[in-house]
Amino acid sequence: MSRVRVRFAPSPTGGLHLGGMRTVLYNYLFAKKHGGDFVLRIEDTDQTRFVAGAEEYIFNCLEWCGMTPDESSRKEGAYGPYRQSERKAIYGQYAEQLVKSGHAYYAFDTPEALEQMRIQYKTEKNPSPMYDAKVRQYMSNSLTCSPEEVQRLFEAKTPYVIRMKMPENETVSFTDMIRGEISFDTNLVDDKVLLKSDGMPTYHLAVVVDDYLMKITHAFRGEEWLPSAPVHLLLWQYLGWKDAMPQWAHLPLILKPDGNGKLSKRDGDRLGFPVFAMNWQDPKTGEHTEGFKEKGFLPEAFINMLALLGWSSGKEQELFSIEELIETFSIEQVHKGGAKFDYEKAKWFNHCYIQKQQNEQLAVLMQSFIKTEKKYPSDYLVKVAGLIKERCHLLSDFWAQGHFFFETPAIEELQAIKDKWNTDKAAFFITWTVALNSVTDWSHDILEQSFNAQVVATGLKKGEVMLPLRIMLVGGKYGPGVFDIAALIGKEETLYRIQQVVQQL
RNA sequence: GGCGCGUUGGUCAAUCGGCUAAGACGCCUCCCUUUCACGGAGGAAUGACGGGUUCGACUCCCGUACGUGCUACCA
C-alpha cells in the first residue's frame, strides 16, 4: 500500500473553531499512527472571502497544539504550491478535459439569469430549483447553443463557467470509513460549477484535483460535505483517477451545548466559553474573540478534550497524552452522531492537566495572569503554583485563587469575623502578633506551633480564631492552608495584614 | 419541499444478540479538611416510538417521529 497522506484544507476566512481543530487532530493522529504525511493546504479560491492574517492564524493554532504539518506553504514538499490561489493555472486544463470528454460544459448564464431561473421553477414542492438535467436545456450553455453561437460568445468575451454535467438515473455509492456504505441518486444532484468565471476552481474541482496531485490517500472532512460526495466521486471517475481516489471519512458535527444545531462562535459568546483555538481579531470589523489558549487552556488538555469529543477508545481511560492518542486512535471508532460540546468537561480536562504539570512550568504559564506590576522571583511563583494548582480549572483562575500572594487583599468577608468578634479574640491576635515578632525561623511548622500554643494559653477554641486568621490573610473563606500562606508571604506582610484587620474591628 | 446523515442518563460515552445497560463530567449526600479545593464512600438519572426477525434485541431489519446537514460562480 502507498504511503499514507492526509490533509487539512481550511479556508482562511476567520478564526479556527473547535470543529476545525478536531478535523486537524484526527488527520494528524491518523497520519502519525500510520507513519504518513500530514499536509496543510490553504483553500483560498474564493477571493471575496479572503481575510488578511487568517492563514498565519491557522499556522499559529496548529503550532500551539504541536501539530505542525509535514508539508505546507511554509514548508514546501514535493507537491506544492500548497495554496490553491497559487495553483490557479493547474485547474483549467482538467475542467477543459472534462468538457472534451462530455462530462462538463460551458455555461454563460448571468447571475440574473440564474436568479430568474430559480424564481421561475420555484414551486411549493420544489422551493429551491437546481441547475440540473432538466433545467440546463433551457439555459445558455454549450449544450443548448450551437457551436457557432458558443464560438461567438467566447469571442465576445462573455463570462462563462464550466459546469459538471451530472448523469441521469445513476446511483453513486461509496464506503465511508465511519458511516459505511452511502449512496446517492444522481438525479438529485445539480450541475455544480467547477470553474468559476474568474478562472478559479470551486471547492469541488479543487479538492479532487489537489487530492489527486498531492497523492492524498485518506480524506477526512466535516459531515456537511456528505451531500456533495457524489460530485467528487464522479469527478474522480471522469478524470480517470478512480483507482487513486482517497478513502473518505465524514466527521460528525460538534453541536451547541443547549438546544440543537452546529456550534457557532455566537454560542460561545452567549454561553461564555471560547469556540476558537486562539484569540482572533477580525481585521474588518475589529471584533475580538477569545480563544482557548488565552482563556487558560493547556494545549495538551485542549487536544485530549477534543479527541474524545466524537471518538472513544472503547476503554475507560480518558486521559491520553498525544503519544497515547496516536497509538490508540482509529478513525473507524469515530462516532456517527454529532456531539454536544460540554464546557464543564473541557474545564475538567484542563484541571487534570494543570495537576500533572510541573510547578516550575506552571509558574511560567501563570505569569501572564498576575495583575500586579511588581515582579516576583521565580521560586516564589513556583511555590504559589504548587499551593493553588489544585483549585484551578483554567490558568486564568490563578489570579482569583492566589491574588493574595501578590497583594494585600480586600477583606470581602469582614462581616464574618465581626459577627463573632469579642475582646478575647482581639487579645488573642494582639498577643500572638507580639509573639510572632520574635520568631526568627518563619516557617509553616513554627507558625503553627506558635498559633497552637497561643490557643492553649488563651483557652479559646482553635476554630474560633482559625477562620478570622484566614480572612485576615486571604480576604475570604478559601485558599490553601493558612500557615502555608503566612510562611510564603513573610513575616512583615503577615503581621501587617493581621493588624490592619484587627484595627477595623 | 427534496435528498443525505444521525438518535443509549442533563452531557461525553461502553456494549458489536445474553443487560441486574460500564465509566467520565455535572448534580446531590456523607467522610476527610476547623476555609476552599483535592481525595474517599455513596446516590439520583439512560436504550425516541411502533412493528418485525430471534429462545433472547440497546444491539439486526422496516416504518414513524425528532434532530441535523446540504440544496451558491462559499467552503
> Tens digits of per-residue pLDDT, A102-126?
999 999 999 999 999 999 999 988 9
Which residues of chain A fall short of a pLDDT of 50? none
Residue A297 CA distance to nucleotide B31 C1' (Å): 32
The pLDDT of residue A261 is 86
All residues at 6 or more sequence positions from A327 whose CB lies less than 8 Å from its CB, including other chains: A33
Give how far the C-alpha of residue A397 lies from the chain's centroid of Cα atoms, to the nearest Å.
20
Nearest to A91 by CA among A9, A231, A200: A200
d(CA A470, CA A481): 8
Protein residue minimizing CA–C1' distance to B14: A314
Strand B contact with A40 (CB < 7 A): no
Cα separation, A309 vs A105, whole angstroms: 43
A265 in catalytic set: yes
Is the distance from CB of A362 to CB of A406 less than 8 angstroms?
A: no
Compute how many other C-beta atoms are within 10 angstroms of the C-beta atom of residue A341: 22
A87 CA to centre of own chain: 28
- CA-to-C1' span, A109 to B6 (A): 37
Residue A202, CB, strand B, below 7 Å: yes
- Tell which residue, A189, A210, A250, has the closest CA to residue A80: A210
Q: Which nucleotides of B are covered by protein (CB under 7 A)?
A: 1-8, 10-15, 22-26, 34-38, 67-75
A345 CA vs B10 C1’ separation (Å): 13
DSSP 8-state code for residue A209: H
A388: left (phi over 0), alpha (psi -120 to 50) or beta: alpha
Q: What angle do CA A410, A411, A417 make, to 5 degrees?
A: 170
Q: Is the CB of A205 under 7 A from strand B?
A: no
CA A481 vs. chain centroid, Å, equals 37
C-beta within 7 A of nucleic chain B, residues 280-319 of A: 308-312, 314, 316, 318
Q: How far apart are CA A115 and CA A117, in angstroms?
A: 5
- Burial class (CB within 10 angstroms; exposed 0-12, middle 13-18, buried 19+) of A377: exposed
Nucleotide B23: nearest residue by CA–C1'? A316
Q: Which residue has the cell 498531492?
A: A214
Residue with CA nearest B71 C1'? A128
Which of A265, A340, A356, A491 is catalytic? The answer is A265
Q: Which three cell numbers stand for residue A277?
A: 483555538
pTM for the model stands at 0.95
Note the pLDDT of residue A479. Answer: 96
Return the nearest residue to B6, CA–C1'. A337
DSSP string, A375-397: ---HHHHHHHHHHHGGG-SSTTH
Closest CA to A369 of A391, A388, A396, A344: A396
Q: How far is the CA of A181 from the C1' of B34 (A)?
A: 64
Task: Name the closest nucleotide to A223, judged by C1' and CA.
Answer: B69
pLDDT of residue A375: 87
| CA-closest candidate to residue A43, choices A66, A23, A18 | A23
Q: Minimal CA–CA distance to A4: which of A61, A58, A70?
A: A70
pLDDT of res. A362:
96
Q: Determine if strand B comes within 7 Å of the CB of A131.
A: yes
CA-to-C1' span, A318 to B13 (A): 11
Spatial contact of A246 and A219, defined as CB atoms under 8 Å apart: yes
